[in-house]
Structures are given as structure tokens and as C-alpha cells.
Amino acid sequence: MAWRFPVTAHDYSRLAASRLPRFLSDYVDGGAGDEQTLRANDAAWAAVTLCQRVLVDVDGVDTTTTLVGQSCAMPLALAPVGLAGMMARRGEVQAARAARAVGVPFTLSTVGICPLEELHAAGVDPVWFQLYMLRDRGIVQALLQRAWAAGCRTLVFTVDLPLPGMRHRDTRNGLGAGSVRARMLKIIDLLSRPGWVRDVGLRGKPHVFGSLAQQVPGARDLDAFKAWVDSQFDPSVTWADIDWLRAQWPGTLLLKGILDADDARAAVRCGAQGLVVSNHGGRQLDGVAATANKLPCIVEAVGTQAEVLVDGGIRSGVDVLRALALGANGVLIGRPWVWALAAGGEQALADMLARWRRELRLAMTMAGVRRIADIDAGVLDVSSNTDNGSATT
């Protein structure tokens, strides 16, 4: 069976679902609304056809590169994922260790379970830190100062969450609800996963948003933390607030959630060194375009003024090559690393990342390129991509 010897992202997702309580596996897997954009993200990469080349000297293919000044074994970083510490015991620390072992950056979410200081103490520096613009700017300043003190030098600022998306799976599972029925649903889910209860539920405490514990001292469980965070999302944020943020943060700034060329140009004007083409993994506004389809126009809009990364539906090393061929400097992955972590912890994630690197190396070999810098639109089979209506048309 595939989940005995997981190989692909899909294999890991099946194994993760067999080990996690349903309300957690649905939290990871689900999207907004009818999940049209969630499905479109995956399909758009599959529609990008590569060009196979033969009898080209591809001895010594090298997948190493830099992302916003940081050396990487391949052009990939682990995206911020909230509640990742609920998917495995002290999950963010395990994931950061795996990322460091393989040689790629890890991004800690503001709503991660492990605090900044725990990762710093684990010796996994440097990590990237993801931030939302909260209504209380004093808290934002305090988080920035803590991130800097913990060794973070790259800030990933999420701009596409003025309000939480309508995620129906979470509502059906009672996630974030405090009613008796919601609590009973979670208890039933937990009883079906005794292994998770022992390993994560009991041994993985505390289950709070670690980096926010000082800001929400009265909160004692995730429901209370979630209610506080939801009240802090600020729909009044504008580009002027990004100017303010740029003045507060002395390090590298990436804006995550760009899906429009004009917004990409505005991000550059605000001093962002990089941006992430993202629709939040299909978790915010259902019906928006797949990231693969928006990537080329955004790359064209910013040129060499900022590095462009992309996320959403990337499921293999071959997809990494596709993203680079469409102009990205690198990719972020979210669900795949969480699936691997939930399936088998730090080692499973390290294995998956190493396999993706081998997939990327093989894909580069078959496409006739030896270095990341050599990857461009020439890697694409333009006639096939035009016929299927993909992102290159």
C-alpha cells in the first residue's frame, strides 16, 4: 500500500489523514467555499508541459541557489502553516530541523504552536517569520522585536487575510466553536486517534499559539487564542501600513498573497525585496485564479526589482521546475510538508524534501539544464502549453 512506503505528496496526505483527528486533517486539506481554487491550483501546474531534451551535456546538475540572499540546497522554502505543532509533537521544531538538515528555509507562522524562542533554542537558525498586521500595532512591534532577537532576518508578511476565509470543513467539524456539540465532535475525532492523543495531545503540550502567549495571557486553550486572533485581523490595512512595517523591520521583507500585477508593482514601491504569488492555498477567496496562471504576468511586472516566489498546489520537484520555468525564483510549499510531518515526523519530512531535490535534479537533467540560473521559458514545450491553455498562453 502507498502509505506503507510513502513516496509522493499524495501518499503522505493519505497517511496523515489516517493518523490525525479529522478536524485537524480537514483543517490542513480544506479550502474556502466549494474549494474550486484549491483544485485549480493543482490542475494548473499539471497543465504546464515541459520540453524534454536529449544528447545534452548535463553532467553535474546543481540544484543549489539563493533565496533572498540565503543559500539553499534547492529553490524551495517551507511556507508558514498555522497549528503545525498540532500535526506532530512540537511540530514546528521538528519541521525546522528537517528543513535545516536538507538545506532549505523554514517559516514559522504567527499562529504556530512553538514560540520563536523554542526554535531559537533548538539551534535551527536562521528561520523566517511570518506575520499578520494586527489591529494592535504595539503587538506587531513586539513580535518584530522578538523575531529579530531570536535570529530571524527574513519577514514574510501575509497581506491576503483581512478576514478569515469561509472554510466549510472547519465549520462542519466545529473548529473554533465552543458549543457542546462542537466539543463532542472533537472528542469523537480524538477517540478515533489514540496514537495522536498520546504523542501529540498529551506529550506535545502546551497547545497554544506560542509566539502570542505573552500578548494573550488570559487565554488557556486554542479556541480562546483563535477568537482573539480573529478579532485582531485588520481589514483597514493599506499600502501605507506596509510603509510603516518597512520602517520597523531592518531585515528582508517578503509580501505573501500577491495575485495581481499592479499589487506586485506596489509591493516593490513599498520596499519589499520579494513577494509570494499566493491565493493562500485556496483558503481565502474561492474562485480566484490559480497561482501558476498568475505567475508569468507578475514576474513580468516586477522584472528584476524583487524576487518572486510562488505557492499553491506545488506537489513535486517537477512542479518546482515548472515554477522556475514560468519565471519564479523559488517556491513555498505548505500542505506537503505538513502531510509528511504528520505521517512520520522529522525524518519523514527530511526524506520527502530529499526526494523532491532528486526529482528536481532529474527533471533538470531531462530538460537539458545544469544550473538553476539556466532555467527559463526554454524549458517549456510552448506548443503543448498553448494547446492546453496553460499559464504560458
Catalytic residues: 280
CA 303 to chain CA mean position, Å: 23
User: Using an 8 Å Cβ cutoff, are 177 and 80 in contact?
Assistant: no
Instruction: Please state, in angstroms and rounded to a whole number, the distance separating the CA atoms of residues 16 and 7.
Output: 13
Instruction: Please state, in angstroms and rounded to a whole number, the distance separating the CA atoms of residues 114 and 112.
Output: 6
Instruction: Please state, in angstroms and rounded to a whole number, the distance separating the CA atoms of residues 96 and 98.
Output: 5
Here the cell at position 145 is 522585536
The DSSP letter of residue 79 is P
Instruction: Please state, in angstroms and rounded to a whole number, the distance separating the CA atoms of residues 381 and 143.
Output: 46
3-state secondary structure of 313: coil
Q: Which string of b and e fits 119-148 if b means at least 16 CB within 10 Å?
A: bbebebebbbbbbbbbeeeeebeebbebbb
User: Using an 8 Å Cβ cutoff, are 273 and 306 in contact?
Assistant: yes
3-state secondary structure of 259: coil
Whether omega before 126 lies within 30 degrees of 0, making that bond cis, reads yes
| Alpha carbon distance, N-terminus to C-terminus of the chain | 39
> At a CB cut-off of 8 Å and minimum separation 6, what does 205 contact?
none
Which CA distances in Å does 168 have to 227, 300, 334?
A: 17, 35, 20
